[in-house]
Amino acid sequence: MHQIQLLVRKDCHLCHAARATVAEVTSRLNMEFSELDIDEHPELLAKHHEEVPVLFIDGQVRDFWTIDPQRLERLLSN
């Protein structure tokens, strides 16, 4: 099972879209994901403030800004 984490910010339109995409794909694959508000974590904010939303799979950055559902499904199927 993959560890899937989405870094988001409040009032971020790209984050809302990414959340919907990740939720749809993970639900279809019977997986779960967690979210982390980057504004509550200064070290992550300093590192990723221009890339939000950021998708991590198993601790590695796999996408940012726009999450492609087909790519995400391929990544999670491996």
Question: What domains can be seen in the chain, in order of their start residue?
Answer: 4-77 (3.40.30.10)
The angle, 0 to 180 degrees and rounded to 10, between the axes of the packed helices 13-28 and 69-77 is 40
- pTM equals 0.91
Separation CA 10–CA 76 (nearest Å) = 26
Question: pLDDT, tens digit, for every residue of 33-59?
Answer: 999 999 999 998 899 888 999 999 999
Question: pLDDT, tens digit, for every residue of 14-29?
Answer: 999 999 999 999 999 9
Amino acid at 5: Q
CB 69 within 8 A of CB 21: yes
Of the candidates 14, 9, 10, 18, the one whose C-alpha atom is nearest the C-alpha of residue 71 is 18
Q: Which two tokens stand for residue 44?
A: 């992550």
